[in-house]
Each structure stands twice: as C-alpha cells, then as structure tokens.
Amino acid sequence: MSLRPGLFLDRDGVINRERGEHTWRMADFELLPGVAEAVRYATDAGYAVVVITNQSGIGLGLYGHADVTALHERLESELAASGARINLILYCPHHPSKGKCLCRKPGGLLLERAIARLGIDPAPSVMIGDRERDVQSAESAGVRGVLVPANGDLRNAVKRELRPA
C-alpha cells in the first residue's frame, strides 16, 4: 500500500466553535464556516483527513462516550450534506487529574495510531490546531504542526499549508 499525506485537525476551535467550556450537547455544537470546503479541498489534494481531539469531560464524568459518538455522527452528516468526508476521528477520553495517559495531546499517540491505521506518511502531513499542545502532539509524531487562531476560517489555513500532489 502506498502512503498518503494526512491532514490532522483539532476539533474544538478548528471544526466547531470553541466556547471556552466542554462541548458535548448537540445544542452547543456549531460547525465553523468553511470547514466542509476545507475538508473537500484536502481530500481532492490526496490527503487523508483525521480529527484528533481531547475530550477530558468523559474522564470528569461530565458526559459519556455515547455523547461524543452522537456529536461526531452529527458532524459527519453535516459534512456529508456538503460532500465532505472525514476519514477518521480519534479522541482521548482521559482527564489529567485522574492520572497520566499517552493519548492526550500534547502526546502523539493518537496521531501515530491514525498514521498506522490509514497508511499515512507523516513527513508531508500537517496538523492544524488552535493550541500549542496540538503543535506539540504533531511534532512528537513527526508531523508538522500549524497553530491557527481559534474559531477562524479553516479554508485559509488549509489552502495555505497543503501541498497538492
């Protein structure tokens, strides 16, 4: 199998509006403008699109895996309505107060897992996030990290950072 580049995306603040608190209720989920177009652009350029998100609210007992799954199904169906598809969504459910895990960003384990599962070449890949820990998680997996302002327009970042084959 030949390797392909990956576009890794943080979720809160990059795909949906960062509200300054945990987002798990449907009513609080707001897809940011330009996301579907950005994902389509990446797919057309030959990139696998992967979302990597810390969801420590699960570890806190604030919400459950089923809530996250339901929210991600909604995200995927909203994108599908615009002809866009995310290849894989991985999340860390742990809260640092309950002990250290390897999957929480700034750790790189979830990126590494996606790289192995989807046959991604880290070298030409990009991670776009709104926090320093997103960049750190990328770098620990051999992926270039790009820091963007929260709740910005993903189209601009993707068109600037991706290198179409």
Instruction: Return the active site residues.
Output: 10, 12
Q: For 71, which DSSP code?
A: H
Q: Residue 94: which of Zn ion, Mg ion, none does it interact with, CB under 5 to 8 A by kind?
A: Zn ion
Under a CB-based contact definition with an 8 Å cutoff, are residues 42 and 51 in contact? Answer: no
The secondary structure of the chain in percent helix, strand, coil, rounded to multiples of 5, reads 40, 20, 45
Write down how long the chain is.
Answer: 165
Kindly tell me which residue out of 7, 9, 12, 111 binds Mg ion, with binding defined by CB under 5 A.
12
Q: Which residues bind Zn ion (CB under 5 A)?
A: 92, 94, 101, 103-104
136 has which bridge partners?
none
Determine, following the binding rule CB under 5 A, whether residue 112 of this chain makes contact with Mg ion. Answer: no
Under a CB-based contact definition with an 8 Å cutoff, are residues 130 and 93 in contact? Answer: no
Closest distance of CB 111 from Mg ion, Å: 15
The number of residues that bind Mg ion (CB under 5 A) is: 4
Three-state secondary-structure class, residue 147: strand
Q: Residue 10: which of Mg ion, Zn ion, none does it interact with, CB under 5 to 8 A by kind?
A: Mg ion
Closest distance of CB 36 from Mg ion, Å: 18
Determine, following the binding rule CB under 5 A, whether residue 10 of this chain makes contact with Mg ion. Answer: yes
